[in-house]
Amino acid sequence: MRILIVEDEPKTGDYLKQGLIEAGFVVDLVRDGTDGLHHGLTEPYHLIILDVMLPGIDGWAVLAGIRHAGRDTPVLFLTARDHVDDRVKGLELGADDYLVKPFAFSELLARVRTLLRRGTKASAAEFLHVADLELDLLRRRVTRSGKRIDLTAKEFALLELLLRRQGEVLPRSLIASQVWDMNFDSDTNVIEVAMRRLRVKLDDNFEPKLIRTVRGMGYVLENPDCA
């Protein structure tokens, strides 16, 4: 997967590039709008991450140029100004998603993966697996090592999200938004508690432990034996 980053702020650009390379992507970084548009039009990318405030031509013009040329490469734009107008403008110009600075890198990574996954068909599988854990999507049933685990509806939804995106670190904000449809932060540790309870049911009596906390970033579900 090849990603183009157009970002003029040196530190941000470097860290985004490093982070995405370490997450397994091939990344090109350019520092201004002119180069961004040139690259976006000539090279094949799976995704473009575009800062709005750029020297030369701004992010809007780059986006418009790319869309004008008939390219439908997914575009995620980054903005420091959280104005409704900005979001609307970006989405009207054909951006696929946006993030407001400052953002958590894990949030960016999750959005990037979502955008890249878009287009490929969501698995219509009836079962989701990791290690000896099995999730029966039709009967809403969870077993581990053949033993039935009782989960509440929300715990099931939480586990399904973790399983579908296994190996990815999911930030709390993403979990709150995907599982509970709460698109804002709560100052109560709701996600921590929910996670802890899920772990008690899922990992306490079994080995290996599947859910891991990545401090400062979020949660990840993976089979440590395969990682």
* Distance set, CA 205 to CA 195, 199, 200 (Å): 16, 10, 8
Cβ-contact 76, 48 below 8 angstroms: yes
- Applying CB under 8 A, among 14, 82, 126, 136 the residue interacting with other proteins is 82
CB of 171 to other proteins, least distance (A): 9
Looking at the Cβ atoms of 71 and 101, the one nearer to other proteins is 101
d(CA 150, CA 14): 45
- Minimum distance from residue 24 beta carbon to other proteins (Å): 21
Q: Which stretch binds other proteins (CB under 8 A): 6-14, 89-97, 159-167, 214-222?
A: 214-222
Strand ranges (DSSP E) for the chain? 2-6, 26-30, 47-51, 75-79, 97-100, 127-130, 133-136, 141-144, 147-149, 211-214, 218-221
Polymer length in residues for the chain: 227
- Nearer Cβ to other proteins, position 72 or 192? 192
* Tokens 């399904």 belong to residue: 160
Of 69, 193, 226, 227, the one binding other proteins by CB under 8 A:
193
- Stretch binding other proteins (CB under 8 A), from 43-51, 112-120, 131-139, 187-195: 187-195
**Strand-pair category, 26-30 with 2-6:** parallel
By CB under 8 A, the residues from 6 to 35 that bind other proteins are: none
Residues 6 or more apart whose CB falls under 8 angstroms from that of 75 comprise 47, 48, 49, 50, 63, 66, 94, 95, 96
Contacts to other proteins from residues 99-158, by CB under 8 A = 100, 102-104, 152-154
Residue among 82 and 126 whose Cβ is closer to other proteins: 82
Number of residues in contact with other proteins under rule CB under 8 A: 27
139: Cβ contacts below 8 Å, ≥ 6 apart: none
If binding is defined by CB under 8 A, does position 215 make contact with other proteins? yes
For other proteins, which stretch binds (CB under 8 A), given 20-28, 36-44, 131-139, 178-186?
A: 178-186
Question: Which residues of this protein are in contact with other proteins, per CB under 8 A?
Answer: 82, 84, 100, 102-104, 152-154, 176, 180-190, 193-194, 197, 215-217
